[in-house]
Amino acid sequence: MAVDAYQREIKYLRLSVTDRCNYRCTYCVPPEGVRWLAEEEILSDEEILRVLSVLGRLGVSRVRLTGGEPLMRPGLIELIRRIRALNVLEDLSLTTNGSLLAKYADQLKQAGVNRVNISLDTVEPQRFRELTCGGNVQDVLDGIQVAAQAGLSPVKLNVVLTDAVREEDLAFFREMVRTSPVIVRFIEYMPSHQCRVRAGMTVTSVTESLNRLGSGDLAPPVQNPHGCGPARYLQSTDDQGMYGFIAPISSGYCDRCNRIRLTADGRLRPCLLSEVEIDLRAALRGAATDEEIAALFRQALQSKPSAHHLADHGSAFRKRGMSQIGG
């Protein structure tokens, strides 16, 4: 079992497989863009498999593939097959912007991905295009449908609460939750000094709007959905789906944090909101033994802070933006 200095069990790895993304969401990537890593800077399939086999033995049993946009990594499906063949994971999931999901959902399922989280902040085509810098919301809506048909369940939608989210979006999500087993999760926007986007609705205003839209009897579900994240879930008895609320700023959950991140260029990042990074890539490329890799992982656990200080500092992601860390 992997335990950090504050006795939190760390069993969940967010693994960024690329820093590249075909969207440039205004709250995630600064307007001038970011320098993409060169191919040789990114961990190879062999390096990722080696890390997972060592971390798997140390108690990491759940992995979420992320990015950038993970579906942009060449050969991702084959990598997933090989990850599954290691036989060390209980759960393998993926976070995606959904733009390429209609094409890949079946292959992801067959290769061994259990479920997907899909980012969708607004369903209004023009606002979506502006927010993502050119995206087509219909691609994402198609991706959601194909993912559900492929059995990548539960399908969770991530909605970041910037001012792009409007009441009409909530009405759309309300209808979706009423009629399908989708989980719509509203996430507090974590301000980043590179992006300077205004936060929009608050978790409270979302809950109020949903009540107005006919979810007056929202209550915690009998059983929380699969996953081990920080969301608080609510459901109405008439709904097939449910809502999740993730509030890293207004109601911190660091005492329950069970995750660690690995960036596409092989840095272990104990906390999204702290600058500490441990260079695993240098060890992998320097012929480190498994025990030396395990020691770096333990060092990362010991450097995990007790809590983030976003509310005190006002903004996050100083050196690297979210797409470079792996959200």
Binding site for ligand SAM (CB under 6 A): 21, 27-28, 66-67, 69, 95-97, 119, 158, 160, 187, 189-190, 192, 322-323, 327
Alpha carbon distance 301, 191 (integer Å): 26
- For 129, residues 6+ apart whose C-beta sits below 8 A from its C-beta are 135, 136, 137
Return the number of the residue (77 or 294) whose C-beta is nearest ligand SAM.
77
CB of 295 to ligand SAM, least distance (A): 29
* Cβ proximity to ligand SAM, 16 vs 236, nearer residue: 16
Closest approach, Cβ 198 to ligand SAM, in A, equals 12
Residue 317, both tokens: 């992601």
What is the number of alpha carbons within 13 Å of residue 268 lying toward its C-beta? 27
Pick 66 or 153: Cβ nearer ligand SAM: 66
Separation of CA 327 from chain center: 5
Neighbours of 46 (CB within 10 A): 11
Residue whose CB is less far from ligand SAM, 10 or 190: 190
Closer residue to ligand SAM (CB): 203 or 322:
322
Least separation in angstroms between residue 192's CB and ligand SAM is 5
Cα Rg of the chain (Å, integer): 19
Closer residue to ligand SAM in complex, CB, 193/285:
193
Beta strands 232-234 and 242-246, pairing class: antiparallel
Indicate the residue among 95 and 209 with the shorter CB distance to ligand SAM: 95
- State the minimum distance, in angstroms, from the CB of residue 214 to ligand SAM: 26
Q: How open is the CA angle 117-82-96, to the nearest 5 degrees?
A: 15
For the bound state, the minimum distance from the C-beta of residue 17 to ligand SAM, rounded and expressed in Å, comes to 10
Residue nearest to ligand SAM (CB): 327
CA angle 321, 52, 279 (to 5 degrees): 45
What are the C-alpha distances in Å from 232 to residues 45, 228, 294, 308?
35, 11, 33, 19
Taking the complex as a whole, the smallest distance from the CB of residue 94 to ligand SAM amounts, in Å, to 9
Cis peptide before 154 (omega within 30 of 0): yes
Shortest separation between residue 119's beta carbon and ligand SAM, angstroms = 4
